[in-house]
Amino acid sequence: MTQAPAARPTLTIGVLAKNEAHRIEACLRSAAFADQLLVIDSGSTDATVARSQAAGAIVVDYPDWQGFGVQRSRLLEHATGDFVFFLDADEIVTPVLQAQIEAAVRSNEAAVWRVCWRMVAYGHELKAYRAGKGPERLFRRDMLSGYTGVVHEEAVFRPGFADAPRHVLRGKLLHHSRETVRGSLEKLTQYAMLGAAKRAALGKRGGVLRGMAGGTAMFLRLYVFRLGFLCGGAGFLYCYFVALEAFFRYAALHYDRASLSSQVGR
């Protein structure tokens, strides 16, 4: 008597979103190979929810924004796949990356996979830019208990899984990081203030000199060593805005310390 083949491991692809109607469809179309498409919405007032549902996603609304870590933890509560891949609304899974994600899921390995980015900023792909390894995005779901951190959040592993093997998915994730100057200014405010609040909670100190040092080091790293200078005006703007975020993070940590809060809306 032959045994039935083992069930194929399943995959949830989850997205955090708020007012992403202009790009959520492209994001979800690229993730349509998942067994479950899941969108955690943060109170969108545009067509994000309707367009996500039309693309086949399950949408759960949590308008009480408490930071990225809390939203990712909520996403995990609704995920049903054996594996979970975290995708941002400004990202698109390329066909090569899709094949590698599917192969990783089939392996059923209790491991963690990082992604590699192809950066797009202000309508131009930064082809010469060395994005390096992106964040950890693919996990077997039983490894995770949640996420921590209001920004640049980190996975919290269940006992026995923190030292799981780490791999890198070499297929690229197309990352539309910054689309407009106005949007970059809004993102600068959000990330600088959230980053300052996170460091204040850890007892760290800020100030203008610390900000200048951090911002200058960040700009040199991105613009020079990661070859942003080869990417024209769009490359300069991208590197400069990231450096400004580092500067204002430390400036706010000193001058706004008494009023810092993780309740900075998206």
Coil/strand/helix, residue 119 = strand
User: Which residues 6+ apart lie within 8 Å of 158 measured at CB?
Assistant: 142, 143, 144, 145
Which of the residue ranges 11-15, 33-37, 152-156 would you say has the lowest mean pLDDT?
152-156
The residue to which tokens 């006992």 are assigned: 159
Measure the N-to-C terminal CA separation of the chain; round to a whole number of Å: 57
Higher pLDDT, 3 or 93: 93
The answer on pLDDT for 4 being more than 60 is no
Runs of H (alpha helix) within 6-144 = 24-30, 48-54, 68-78, 95-107
**What tens digit of pLDDT does each residue of 50-81 get?**
999 999 999 999 998 888 889 999 999 999 99
Q: Are the beta carbons of 92 and 20 closer than 8 angstroms?
A: no
Q: Which two tokens stand for residue 26?
A: 């492209």
For residues 266 and 246, what is the distance between their CA atoms, to the nearest angstrom?
18
Q: Residue 230 pLDDT > 90, yes or no?
A: yes
| Mean predicted confidence (pLDDT) in 185-207 | 91
The residues that bridge with 139 in the sheet, in sequence order, are 84, 112
Rg (CA), the chain: 19
Average pLDDT for 183-205 = 91
Contact criterion met (CB below 8 Å) for 45 and 63: no
The partner residues of 61 in beta bridges, in order of sequence, read: 41
Nearest to 114 by CA among 72, 74, 40, 165: 165
Q: How far apart are CA 27 and CA 44, in angstroms?
A: 16
pLDDT (tens digit per residue) in 107-148: 999 999 999 999 999 999 999 999 877 889 999 999 999 998
Q: Label each residue of 118-155 as H, E or C.
A: EEEECCEECCCCCCCEEEEEEEEHHHEEEEECCCCCEE
**Would the pLDDT of 99 be above 80?**
yes
Please calculate the CA angle 74-15-29 and round it to the nearest 5 degrees: 150
pLDDT at 153 over 90: no
